Amino acid sequence: MSDHYAELLMYVAPAAVQQANQAWLTRIFERLNLTRRNADHLDLHGLWLAPELLVTQTCGYPLMTQLRGKVRVIGRPRYELAHSSQGEHCSLLLTREDNPLNELADFYDSRGVINGHDSNSGMNLLRERLAPLQRDGRFFASVGISGAHRE
C-alpha cells in the first residue's frame, strides 16, 4: 500500500459537488488499495507536480503554460450547474445591479477584477475580449485579484 495525493479543490463548488468529489476519490483509493495523503500543506503548483500525485484538477491556462509536458490529462468533469452543463464551462462578467454601464466597452478606465494571473476563464478569456477595446495597451485603470482558484 502506498500514499498518494488526490484533490479536486481547484474551484469553489456547491456542497453536493464537493460531496460527490470526495465519494469518488474515496472509492478510487479503496479500489486501488491506496492511502490518501493530506495535501493541505501544498499550494497548487506543489500539488500538481508532487511525485505522489494520483489525481487532481487544473484550469486550462496553467495546463497549457506551466504544466505543459509535466502532467497528463486523464479526463474532464461534466458538472451540471447553472451556466455550465454537458461538459461546457463558461465565465460570467458581473457588475453591481445598480451600475448603469451595459456594454463591455463602457467599463474602460474602471477597476477590473480577475481570478488570478493563472486563470483561463477568469483572466485569459477576458483579456482576449478586452484586447480590441484597449487603448495604449490597457483597458482597466487598475486590476484586482479575487483569488477564486484555490490559493
Domain assignments of the chain as residue spans, ordered by start: 1-90, 91-151
Spatial contact of 121 and 127, defined as CB atoms under 8 Å apart: no
Residue 55 pairs with which residues in a beta bridge?
Answer: 6
Spatial contact of 62 and 121, defined as CB atoms under 8 Å apart: no
Q: What is the DSSP letter of 124?
A: I
The tens digit of pLDDT for each residue in 119-141 reads 888 888 899 999 999 999 999 99
pTM across the whole model: 0.74
Between 11 and 102, residue with greater pLDDT: 102
Average model confidence (pLDDT) for the chain? Answer: 89
Q: Residue 54: in which H helix or E strand, if any?
A: strand 53-55
C-alpha cell at 149: 482558484
Give the span between the Cα atoms of 92 and 3, in whole angstroms: 38
The tens digit of pLDDT for each residue in 51-61 reads 999 999 998 88
The tens digit of pLDDT for each residue in 68-116 reads 999 999 998 777 777 777 767 777 788 999 999 999 999 999 999 998 8
- Alpha-carbon Rg of the chain, whole angstroms? 18
